[in-house]
Structure 1
Amino acid sequence: MDLDTDELLSSLTPREENQAIKSFQNTVAVACPACGEPFDDLVVCKQNPTSLDLTKQLDLCVGVDDGQAFIFTHGQ
């Protein structure tokens, strides 16, 4: 997967940021770079390792850019 993170992040709506993660909502149906389907949210991991508490079951696609994990969520 080749991520153009600057272009990708400029298309998304920021939601939350803390020490471990930054999250963005995909409000314009940008296609997931891994599977090609629109994704719901993007979580950028800022710490290694990072733990995520998922409140619902999701399909995930993952990419790495500059040592950071990019997790694309897809609702069920």
Structure 2
Amino acid sequence: MDDVDFDELVASVTLREENQAIKSYQNTVAISCPACGSQFDDLIVCKENPTSLNLSKQLDLCVGSADDQAVIFTHKK
């Protein structure tokens, strides 16, 4: 994700949830995933290391890092 302006990406999506472990954003403007090029549904920034995610849906995931934090792009099936 070195070639992606992460601050600009985060400014373009909508914050949905923030807690001690994660920040979750919804892609409401049809931004393409920097990893695969397809539109992603949600962006999850892991604030703690390690972080556990409890997913209620089956999702395809693309993973990267920004500012030494894991970044997950979800794609609903």
TM-score range, shorter chain: over 0.9
What TM-score comes out, normalization by structure 2 length? 0.95
Pairwise CA RMSD: 0.7
Gaps of at least 5 residues in structure 1 are none
Give the % identical residues: 72
Separation of aligned partners in 2, 1:19 and 1:60: 22
Gaps of at least 5 residues in structure 2 are none
Alignment of 1:1-76 (within 5 A): 1-2=1-2, 3-76=4-77
How far did 1:66 drift? 1.6
Deviation by residue 1:35-56 (Cα, 9 ceiling, x = unmatched): 0000000000000000000001
What TM-score comes out, normalization by structure 1 length? 0.96
How far did 1:69 drift? 0.5
